[in-house]
Amino acid sequence: MPALIEVRELVRRYQLGGQEVRALDGVSLTIEAGEFVAIMGQSGSGKSTLMNVLGCLDNPSSGQFLIDGQDVSAFGPDELAQLRRERFGFIFQRYHLLPHLDARGNAALPSVYAGLADAERQQRAESLLTRLGLQERMHHRPNELSGGQQQRVSIARALMNGGQIILADEPTGALDSASGAELLALLKELNAAGHTIILVTHDAHVAAHARRVIELRDGHIVRDGGTPDAHQAASNESAPRGQGGWWSRKRAQWREALMSAWQSLKGNRLRTALSMLGISIGIAAVVSIMALTTAARSSIEKDVGGFLSGRIVFWRGNPNLPPGVPPQPFRPTELEALRALPGVRAVTSERETQMTARHAGRDSMVAVLGAEPHSLQMRKLKVVEGRAFAPVDFATSAHVVVLDEKARDNLFKKGEKVVGRTVLLAPGLDPQQAAAQIPGSPPPPVGVALPVTVIGLVAQDTGSMVQFGNGLGQVFMPHTAYSKKLDLRPDADVFNVLMDFSLPPAEVRKQVVYRLRALHGIEDFGSWSGEEEFQSFQQVTGALSLLFAGVGAISLLVGGVGVMNIMLVSVSERTREIGIRMAVGARQADVRLQFLVEAVLLCCLGGLVGVALSGLGAVALNAAQDKLHVEVSGAALALAFAVSSLVGLVFGTVPARRAAALSPVDALARE
């Protein structure tokens, strides 16, 4: 049967100042299960290095190290972690307890990485602490315990997963004589119970408590009494305890990572707050910019889309016509033929002239338009006072008009009633006559005027972000009256096709072009699709939204760099904690997860604050104005947390990898 531990020609070299130092130089020894061995030597003799190799905290430079006949010299970090977790328990001179955990939490730490269920873990930790006389101190943290009590907690931790092999490194060095004696008595009891004890000390009186003493000097064994002839391993209470299943291990792993991350963040409140501030500003900037651009884009697209969508404009003329071929106007019969096409809801002609409007001594240049039944709707105008045109107005060619707000403001006093008043329409001023007019003098005569009655007032129905129309006030009158009094031509130079969206806009445009080409014999007209222009407009506004979001993301990037810097500082400050966790069996993946979770938690908390700030900003902006309604949507919240998590993952990866790459023995040696 192979020995429990066997070392063959073990060498451990270090490079110090460009020189090679052999801490162990060809060491060979065998330790049987159940032995109580003391490794003794002065400082620099190599005893601590030998203990680190035997405890799988360090790898030898050459030679063989076997446990139960299995060569572990070339094991990887996670394989060594499994051995430490299942076979070894460590008792350190300086206790190496985690300050944020109580006695029970420190004792139970190895079983976290073994995947034991929470209830089983707590029950075993309490049982061990009670056995060691700490039943009244289970919920005290290390700074509330005496040195002897802290060392007893470390013994409970060493026994948590079985502790088949217990390595005690100068365990009495920081204790008074009475506590040291109690500790040595405990080690003898454990050895009698079947635990293999390897005690490292420089004190011959302490080493005398062992049944076998191995003395080292300059990396060589100078004395070894060997395994006592009468040695027999006691009945073994120290066999490796069962490990939890995959789900139990994962659950314990995540729970410990979250608890550790929260304790770390809570223990450094100011630094956590400052780190969160950078992420909060970045998230608030991104969410606010997204909310603002979304609100502005939605409002503008609603306005522009409402005006352009479903509208195709045709006009007389085509630059590609052969020389000498005049473009034909659009006759009423042609427009009537177009109204019968599928997908066409209405066809309205565009007839407009500039005139002078007068009311009660006020004159203003206006655009007079011949309105058809759908003209106001096509221009996205709504009646805010009076009424719109009725069928009888068109049938009788009534001398009635509808004004827009600009024409109303130019012709009427503020607050003056508009509906029912008479306005005179006269031909516009001659440019030369207008130029010769002396400032401040009465306006020149306008010729024969047409009296019309105002029946309504209209305003834009496209919201408050975008307004459409030319620079003049607009006066609408029935197209029948317009044709009889202002423009006797029956033909039109421009008309609009309004679609009912039963067919795609491109198909409707294609049919109208085909029908007009057939009627005119040539394509002597041009066309413009509002729907196609609106799609192009949407692409532009979408690109602008992405651009603004990218600008906001720069601040988030700066916050992420700050998080990475803080996490790197945290790794350097908590190196000893990392070493402790690795010594009790934490895998590299466990350490990586711990620091990644901390980075993600930090960023998510910052993201939560950033979302709250952006939400408060949106409420304040909405209260201050009513032109634009800004809302932080659920999608923005989800995106904020997703981005926060991603920032934590990206900028926490480097610190997490650095922490996981630490050597357990180097990490434990740092303060």
Model pLDDT for residues 78-129, shown as the tens digit of each residue: 899 999 998 999 998 888 999 889 999 999 999 888 888 888 889 999 999 9
Residue 470 maps to a domain: yes
Length of the chain: 671
- Check: CB of residue 89 under 8 Å from CB of residue 55: no
How many Å separate Cα 620 from the centre of its chain? 24
Strands (E), 209-248: 212-217, 220-224
The reply to whether 422 and 561 lie within a common domain is no
Residue 254 maps to a domain: no
The band of 442, judged by pLDDT with boundaries at 50, 70 and 90, is: very low
The band of 464, judged by pLDDT with boundaries at 50, 70 and 90, is: very low
Number of other CB atoms surrounding residue 223 within 10 Å: 11
Residue 530 maps to a domain: no
String of DSSP letters for 596-631: HHHHHHHHHHHHHHHHHHHHHHHHHHHHH-SS----
The reply to whether 231 and 278 lie within a common domain is no
The pLDDT assigned to 9 comes to: 93
Asked whether the predicted pLDDT for residue 523 surpasses 80, the reply is yes
String of DSSP letters for 141-174: -GGGS-HHHHHHHHHHHHHTT--SEEEEESTTTT
SS3 of 20-64: the string is EEEEEEEEEEEECCCCEEEEECCCCCCHHHHHHHHCCCCCCCEEE
Position 608, amino acid: L
Residue 253 maps to a domain: no
Q: Which helix (H) or strand (E) holds 5?
A: strand 5-16
The pLDDT assigned to 142 comes to: 93
Tokens of 569: 């500082």
The reply to whether 275 and 166 lie within a common domain is no
Each residue of 356-392: pLDDT tens digit?
999 988 999 999 998 888 888 777 788 999 999 999 9
CA distance 460 to 593: 59
The pLDDT assigned to 433 comes to: 42
Please state which of the ranges 294-308, 411-425, 480-494, 644-658 shows the lowest mean pLDDT. Answer: 294-308
Rg of the chain over all Cα atoms, to the nearest angstrom: 45
Domain count within the chain: 3
Asked whether the predicted pLDDT for residue 515 surpasses 80, the reply is yes
The reply to whether 264 and 150 lie within a common domain is no
Q: What is the CATH number of the domain that holds 188?
A: 3.40.50.300
Q: Which residues contact 208 (CB under 8 A, 6 or more apart)?
A: 38
Q: Which residues contact 224 (CB under 8 A, 6 or more apart)?
A: 29, 212, 213, 214, 215
Please state which of the ranges 28-32, 340-344, 457-461 shows the lowest mean pLDDT. Answer: 457-461
Q: Which residue has the higher pLDDT, 172 or 243?
A: 172
The band of 432, judged by pLDDT with boundaries at 50, 70 and 90, is: very low
The reply to whether 127 and 87 lie within a common domain is yes
pTM of the model: 0.65
By DSSP bridging, strand 311-316 and strand 344-350 are unpaired
Task: Provide φ and ψ at 308, rounded to 5°.
Answer: -95, -35
The reply to whether 271 and 352 lie within a common domain is no
The pLDDT assigned to 640 comes to: 73
Number of other CB atoms surrounding residue 140 within 10 Å: 16
The reply to whether 162 and 206 lie within a common domain is yes
Q: Under DSSP, is residue 120 helix (H, G, I), strand (E, B) or coil? A: helix
Which whole number is the average pLDDT over 323-336?
89
Asked whether the predicted pLDDT for residue 244 surpasses 70, the reply is no
The pLDDT assigned to 446 comes to: 43
Alpha helices in 397-473 (DSSP H): 405-411, 431-436
Between 269-308 and 246-267, two packed helices, what is the crossing angle to 10 degrees? 100
The reply to whether 365 and 481 lie within a common domain is yes
The pLDDT assigned to 617 comes to: 82
Task: Provide φ and ψ at 533, rounded to 5°.
Answer: -65, -35
The pLDDT assigned to 249 comes to: 73
CA distance 365 to 430: 12
In the chain, DSSP finds a helix count (H) and a strand count (E) of 21, 21
CA distance 546 to 555: 15
Q: Which residues contact 521 (CB under 8 A, 6 or more apart)?
A: none
The pLDDT assigned to 485 comes to: 87
Domain that holds residue 57: 5-244
Q: Under DSSP, is residue 371 helix (H, G, I), strand (E, B) or coil? A: strand
Q: What is the DSSP letter of 413?
A: -
Between 77-87 and 575-583, two packed helices, what is the crossing angle to 10 degrees? 60
- Check: CB of residue 213 under 8 Å from CB of residue 40: yes
Number of other CB atoms surrounding residue 499 within 10 Å: 23
- Check: CB of residue 4 under 8 Å from CB of residue 31: yes
Tokens of 218: 């300059």
The pLDDT assigned to 552 comes to: 65
Residue 492 maps to a domain: yes
Which whole number is the average pLDDT over 453-461?
90
Highest mean pLDDT among 206-210, 484-488, 503-507, 664-668: 206-210
Which whole number is the average pLDDT over 241-268?
77
The reply to whether 21 and 123 lie within a common domain is yes
Each residue of 33-68: pLDDT tens digit?
999 999 999 888 889 899 999 999 988 889 999 998
Which whole number is the average pLDDT over 170-187?
89
The reply to whether 265 and 287 lie within a common domain is yes
The pLDDT assigned to 357 comes to: 93
Q: Please, which contacts does 410-414 make with residues 24 or more away whose CB atoms are closer than 8 Å?
A: 410/357, 410/362, 410/364, 410/366, 410/473, 411/357, 411/358, 411/359, 411/362, 411/364, 411/473, 412/359, 412/360, 412/362
Strand order in the sheet with 62-67: 19-31, 5-16, 62-67, 70-71
Between 530-573 and 505-520, two packed helices, what is the crossing angle to 10 degrees? 150
The reply to whether 62 and 155 lie within a common domain is yes
Residue 293 maps to a domain: yes
The reply to whether 324 and 284 lie within a common domain is no
Q: Under DSSP, is residue 446 helix (H, G, I), strand (E, B) or coil? A: coil
Which whole number is the average pLDDT over 190-196?
91
The pLDDT assigned to 39 comes to: 94
Task: Provide φ and ψ at 495, rounded to 5°.
Answer: -145, 160
Residue 146 maps to a domain: yes
- Domain boundary among the residues 244, 271, 291 is at 244
CA distance 153 to 169: 15
- Check: CB of residue 124 under 8 Å from CB of residue 108: yes
The band of 561, judged by pLDDT with boundaries at 50, 70 and 90, is: confident
Mean pLDDT of the chain: 84
CA distance 327 to 520: 9
Residue 351 maps to a domain: yes
Number of other CB atoms surrounding residue 495 within 10 Å: 22
- Check: CB of residue 366 under 8 Å from CB of residue 378: no
